[in-house]
Amino acid sequence: MRLLHTMLRVGNLDRSIAFYTEVLGMELLRQKEYPEGKFTLAFLGYGDEKHHTALELTYNWNTDNYDVGNGFGHLAIEVDDVYLAAERIRSQGGKIIREPGPMNAGTTLLAFVADPDGYEIELLQEKS
C-alpha cells in the first residue's frame, strides 16, 4: 500500500495551480473537467504519480471559497534550506505565517506558509 494523493477544495483553480507550480515548484501532472458533475480536478506533485504522492485540487464550479475548518492540520514539504525556501516564497508573494526557525521544544527547522485558500503548508528542512 502507499498514499496516492491528498485532496484540497479550492475556490480559484488557476490561482491555486499557479501557487503550487510557480511558488512551491510542483508540476501540473494532469487536469480534467467533469461537466456533468460541474467540477474540475487537477493533480500536482514533485514527480510522476506511479512513484510519488500527488496533491489533488478540486474546483467545484460556482464555489469560490471554503471554510478551511479546524480539523485539517497542514501539508508538509521537505526543503533543503528552510530559510532560503521561505525567502523565495515571500519574494514571490507567498504568505509566511510562521517564520523559519527551530520547532517549539525541538531542533527541527521549519516554517509555515499559507496557500491562496488559507491551507497551511509546513516547510521542513531536510535533516543532515
Q: Both 87 and 42 in a single domain? A: no
Q: Is 33 a catalytic residue?
A: no
Classify each residue of 13-40 as buried b or exposed e, where b means 16 or more C-beta atoms within 10 Å of its C-beta: beebbebbeebbebeebeeeeeeeeebb
pLDDT at 57: 97
| 30-50 pLDDT tens trace | 999 999 999 999 999 999 999
pTM: 0.88
67 in a domain, yes or no?
Answer: no
Point out the catalytic residue in the list 33, 56, 87, 122: 122
Cα-only R_g, the chain: 15
The CATH number for 14's domain is: 3.10.180.10
Instruction: Provide the domain limits for residue 121.
Output: 75-125
| 49-90 pLDDT tens trace | 999 999 999 999 999 989 888 888 999 999 999 999 999 999
Alpha carbon distance 101, 87 (integer Å): 13
Domain count, the chain: 2
Q: Does the structure show a pLDDT above 90 at 4?
A: yes
Count Cβ atoms within 10 A of the Cβ of residue 118 and give its class: 0-12 exposed, 13-18 middle, 19 or more buried.
Answer: middle
| 23-35 pLDDT tens trace | 999 999 999 999 9
